[in-house]
Amino acid sequence: MRDAYHEELDSIGEGLVEMARLVGSAIGRATTAILDSDLKLAETVIEGDKKVDDLQHDLEARAIALLARQQPVATDLRIVVTSLRMSADLERSGDLAQHVAKLARLRFPERAVPQDLHATILEMGQLAQRLMAKAAEVIVTKDIDLAMQLEQDDDEMDLLHRTLFQHLIDDRWKHGIETAVDVTLLGRYYERYADHAVAVAKRVVYLVTGEHADDLQQDIPPVTRVEGA
Amino acid sequence: MRDAYHEELDSIGEGLVEMARLVGSAIGRATTAILDSDLKLAETVIEGDKKVDDLQHDLEARAIALLARQQPVATDLRIVVTSLRMSADLERSGDLAQHVAKLARLRFPERAVPQDLHATILEMGQLAQRLMAKAAEVIVTKDIDLAMQLEQDDDEMDLLHRTLFQHLIDDRWKHGIETAVDVTLLGRYYERYADHAVAVAKRVVYLVTGEHADDLQQDIPPVTRVEGA
């Protein structure tokens, strides 16, 4: 009985890794789609999100069934409850990748991102994808040091976000309001995506160490932070 | 034993209602703070969010202890797991109210919202507060009809959000890029706040009917919807 139980627990972990893999690929493709104005690629991200949602529903149902059937306590209980939270983070990351892709579709055949911000958005997209890849690795390896690295990567994301805002409020901005709105939302999507990846890694830390990381929910927009509020 | 158990379950429900009350008040005060450029009021929201976070941690700890001690099944298990999710929605709503307040603080003594958008932002703030009040009422009464009303209110929020974006991308916009960025973020905060209130109500529906509302996670930005993507 305990073996079937731990198999089920493992398969929940595998489901989380699969979700992370899908939403990592999604943010990478969404970034390419928005930079290249590639409608077909954008559509694959938009349609692909359903699979992420299905995986989450499936994973939740299995987690709840496990709670009901096996009534785990202590560490095992903590694993199941934390898995529910991680699946919510991953599902939300998928939504955010989808938002990027929808913006690409909305502006097609135009490009939503002006040329002088391409490098910054590309870097944000790549960093987001890397953060999610590391989060998946943390789920598998339970490597606390790697989990800690994600926080540093997230600082890098904040820096990129700040760069983006500085471009926006620069007097020389010449791309108009609509593009400013698009870029503001894009920046927010990448930043929130990164927050969720970091949250996933921190939840693993909590599982391993039993200690809550307090700053899971920090997502003060960098425009606020830059200017000293 | 079962009585102590149901008392504990009730007290978790009361904790959720208290969280909803706090974050409802927070979004109301944050809206006044940003419209009046009231620094002191903004500070009360920013500092008050700690209490919401504390309540959530406390509520989570009690829910997990309940799972471990009482090992509920069926409906009771569903209530506890759903409560965990609701507390996450409410905590996040508090963050969003705090973001509005931080923007008020950042722009003080200037006003972040230009006069011609005051009415729209006021309406978004009031609607957000009303949505949360209804969500709290749904937690208490388990009134499915009321829960359904929240979806209509949310449509109203989408409409307001669209109005906001139409103002932004109107050629006559004369408030500059920084204000456009502020208003874009504000619109997003209110819309997400409303989404979380609706999610709380829908989770109650799920508890009562056992049926999942599929569209819990929809938060496609209205700029996308307006323009037909």
Q: How far apart are CA A149 and CA A52, in angstroms?
A: 26
A95 pLDDT more than 60? yes
**Which residues in chain A are closer than 8 Å to B217, comparing Cβ atoms?**
53, 91-92, 95
**Which residues in chain A are closer than 8 Å to B94, comparing Cβ atoms?**
none
Q: Do A111 and A179 form a contact (C-beta atoms < 8 A)?
A: no
**Beta carbons of B185 and A180 less than 8 Å apart:** no
Nearest CB to B67 within list A67, A181, A184: A67
* pLDDT at residue B210, as a whole number: 77
**Beta carbons of A185 and B223 less than 8 Å apart:** yes
Q: Most B CBs within 10 Å: which of A85, A162, A217, A219, as the mutation test of the B interface?
A: A217
Domains in chain A with CATH codes: 2-226 (1.20.58.220)
| Range among A8-17, A19-28, A73-82 rated most confident | A19-28
Q: Which one-letter amino acid corresponds to residue A183? A: V
Residue A180 to chain B, least CA–CA distance (Å)? 7
Residue by residue, DSSP assigns A194-221 as HHHHHHHHHHHHHHHH----TTTT----
* pLDDT at residue B220, as a whole number: 42
**Beta carbons of A105 and B229 less than 8 Å apart:** yes
Nearest CB to B180 within list A77, A81, A177: A177
Nearest CB to B64 within list A81, A217, A227: A81
Q: In the 8-state DSSP scheme, what is residue B117?
A: G
Q: How far apart are CA A212 and CA B61, in angstroms?
A: 11
What is the tens place of the pLDDT at every residue in A103-135?
999 999 999 999 999 999 999 999 999 999 999
What is the tens place of the pLDDT at every residue in A167-207?
998 888 999 999 999 999 999 999 999 999 999 999 999 88
**Which residues in chain B are closer than 8 Å to A103, comparing Cβ atoms?**
224, 229
* pLDDT at residue B226, as a whole number: 35
* pLDDT at residue B212, as a whole number: 63
Residue A133 to chain B, least CA–CA distance (Å)? 23
* pLDDT at residue A218, as a whole number: 43
Q: Most A CBs within 10 Å: which of B69, B184, B216, as the mutation test of the A interface?
A: B184
Q: In the 8-state DSSP scheme, what is residue A112?
A: S
Q: Do A42 and A104 form a contact (C-beta atoms < 8 A)?
A: yes
A144 pLDDT more than 80? yes
Contacts of A112 (CB under 8 A, 6+ apart): A34, A37, A103, A104, A106, A179, A182, A183, A186
Q: How confident is residue A212, by pLDDT bands cut at 50, 70 and 90?
A: low
Contacts of B171 (CB under 8 A, 6+ apart): none
Across A132-148, average pLDDT:
96
Q: Do B144 and B101 form a contact (C-beta atoms < 8 A)?
A: no
* pLDDT at residue A164, as a whole number: 96
* pLDDT at residue A209, as a whole number: 86
Q: Which residue has the higher pLDDT, A7 or B137?
A: B137
Q: How far apart are CA A218 and CA A104, in angstroms?
A: 27
Nearest CB to B177 within list A71, A173, A228: A173
Q: How confident is residue A74, by pLDDT bands cut at 50, 70 and 90?
A: confident
Residue B111 burial (CB count, 10 A) = 16
User: Given the structure tokens 């870029």, which residue do they identify?
Assistant: A183
**Beta carbons of A217 and B84 less than 8 Å apart:** no
Measured in Å, how far apart are chain B's first and last C-alpha atoms? 55
Q: How far apart are CA B55 and CA B13, in angstroms?
A: 12
Tokens of B121: 């932002």
**What are the residue ranges in chain B where pLDDT is below 70?**
1-2, 212-229
